[in-house]
Structure 1
């Protein structure tokens, strides 16, 4: 049976991607233990999060992978006693049966980190198609952005649109200047566009190594991008009409 895993650009919330390690007693400080765990468990796959909590001189750790397959490999290694912590010995892993939160999109940085891990730095590229301040209410700053993600190895691409509006009054009350408002609104609009584009990307991982990119075409943007927004194909300033005497309807 072929091992196929679909990874979306959302915060992983399945119990199958989570490893819980209770009751670690070690002379390591909390930052040192975090660094050790991150380095150790990264060998099995890309980590989304490592959380270390100190309760009554014991450490309790949650390790979250993007891939359920990677989490399974790490869990199996721990159960075989192959993962040990200084002064604590082999770690004891426990499964959890609930996810605890709904599907939430990854940040743009996390999306790019995930794409780089599975596709390599040259496996994808991005392009800003449209990024402008739009006409709107005089008391409102409105920015619209459209971006494109391209995956040349699989010959697929997708677009994402973002729209951000900011009332001038509320921003000025917080001490922002007009330039600050424009800059922040433009940045948020561009960020929304990238999140919308990444949200359509599916990583199809076969046997843990072969990766193919597919696009979820059921995801809809706030609006559709029209390429003629950038440069009109024809610009007409004057038109001269001529009339043929034999065919008055022909122009």
Structure 2
């Protein structure tokens, strides 16, 4: 019997069938080491979206549990069946099960950031199986000046806005798709004489180490324009909607 094709969307994965619950993790190592070990082990079964490690409740024995979220429900099932009751990175065996939802909740699928999209495309299409290029990039920024009541200080509001058209090409399949987006950031700078106040901040890390402050005086640091604040907690499904009772009753 052939399995039906699974659609993997380029969005934040939603659904308990894509989430693996891991417990019986000993407290012999740090949370960072546990997270690294889990990511290394479970990524062998497919692309991971996230690995979250948490401490056990104070009423139980010291230790940790983890939630591992896949993009594919098949990858999650395969990982659960393979890793359950196995000594993966500690002497005692881990217990692994798929999460089940207590009741149906509808979540609006959130957009996936560009880094995760590229990881997903490289996994399923191959590193050379797709490409992207910028078709058009135009500055559509505006400038708005306002004067205070005292007539002394002036405020200039800069609407930094860019429009971009990008094309994605799937070479092996002869397909292409174009998308358009606008990024905007509102900046306000005030100075008593009405001029724009520009604050200089030395560039850190590699540039700061190779250039002196005198060399950096004429440079302006430009940061990426974000569509919205990135909050990992909003991407994750609430723990209260996840149930493990069915698996626990089966003696996993």
| Paired position in structure 2 for 1:40 | 41
| Paired position in structure 2 for 1:231 | none
List gaps (5 residues or longer) in structure 1: 193-251
| Paired position in structure 2 for 1:157 | 176
| TM superposition shift of 1:75 | 1.3
Q: Compare 6-15 and 36-45 and name the one that shifted more.
A: 36-45
For residues 7 and 189 of structure 2, what CA distance do their matches in structure 1 show?
42
Seen in structure 2, the aligned counterparts of structure 1 residues 173 and 86 have a Cα distance that, compared at 3 Å, is farther
For residues 23 and 174 of structure 1, what CA distance do their matches in structure 2 show?
54
| TM superposition shift of 1:25 | 2.1
| Paired position in structure 1 for 2:208 | none
For residues 111 and 101 of structure 2, what CA distance do their matches in structure 1 show?
22
List gaps (5 residues or longer) in structure 2: 145-157, 191-195, 202-218, 229-252
Tell me whether 1:166 sits opposite 2:176 in the alignment: no
Give the alignment's Cα RMSD to 1 decimal.
Answer: 3.1
Q: Compare 109-118 and 126-135 and name the one that shifted more.
A: 126-135
Summarize deviations over 1:151-210 as a string: whole Å, max 9, x none: 111111111112123334269789589x969x44xx438x89xxxxxxxxxxxxxxxxxx
> Given that residues 26 and 86 in structure 1 are in contact (C-alpha distance below 8 angstroms), is that contact kept between their aligned partners in structure 2?
no
| Paired position in structure 2 for 1:6 | 7
Q: Which secondary structure does the structure 2 equivalent of 1:153 belong to?
A: helix
> Given that residues 26 and 88 in structure 1 are in contact (C-alpha distance below 8 angstroms), is that contact kept between their aligned partners in structure 2?
no
| Greater RCO, CA 8 A, separation 6+ | 1
Alignment of 1:122-201 (within 5 A): 122-134=128-140, 136-138=142-144, 139-169=158-188, 175=199, 183-184=222-223, 187-188=224-225
Report the structure number with the largest CA radius of gyration.
Answer: 1
For residues 131 and 38 of structure 2, what CA distance do their matches in structure 1 show?
32
| Paired position in structure 2 for 1:91 | 95
Summarize deviations over 1:25-73 as a string: whole Å, max 9, x none: 2422222222221122122111111111123421010000111000010
Q: Compare 167-176 and 128-137 and name the one that shifted more.
A: 167-176
